[in-house]
Amino acid sequence: MKKRFKVVFNREKCKGCELCISFCPKKILALDPEVNAKGYHPAGIVDQESCIGCASCAAMCPDLCISIYQLEEGE
């Protein structure tokens, strides 16, 4: 069975630098058109099901805004 992952962003900490977006091999991250409280467009995931859990996004984020969880079957 294919492993599935959930990527969670801390949108209030994100400064919209786009590093995570450029390093995602699946190209499934994008900036939100809405701004956060600091006035930045925060990054988010647009296609959760395509995430391979490589953690490149989390490793690249200078502000530790990204957490990755492996989902159990049925989650």
Which is closer to ligand SF4, CB of 57 or CB of 73? 57
Q: What is the 8-class DSSP label of residue 30?
A: E
The angle formed by the CA atoms of residues 34, 38 and 19, to the nearest 5 degrees, is 75
Q: How far is the CB of 74 from ligand SF4 (least distance, A)?
A: 20
Check: CB of residue 52 under 8 Å from CB of residue 5: yes
Residues making contact with ligand SF4 (CB under 6 A): 7, 9, 14-20, 24-26, 28-29, 43, 45, 51-57, 60-61, 63, 65-66, 68
Which is closer to ligand SF4, CB of 3 or CB of 26? 26
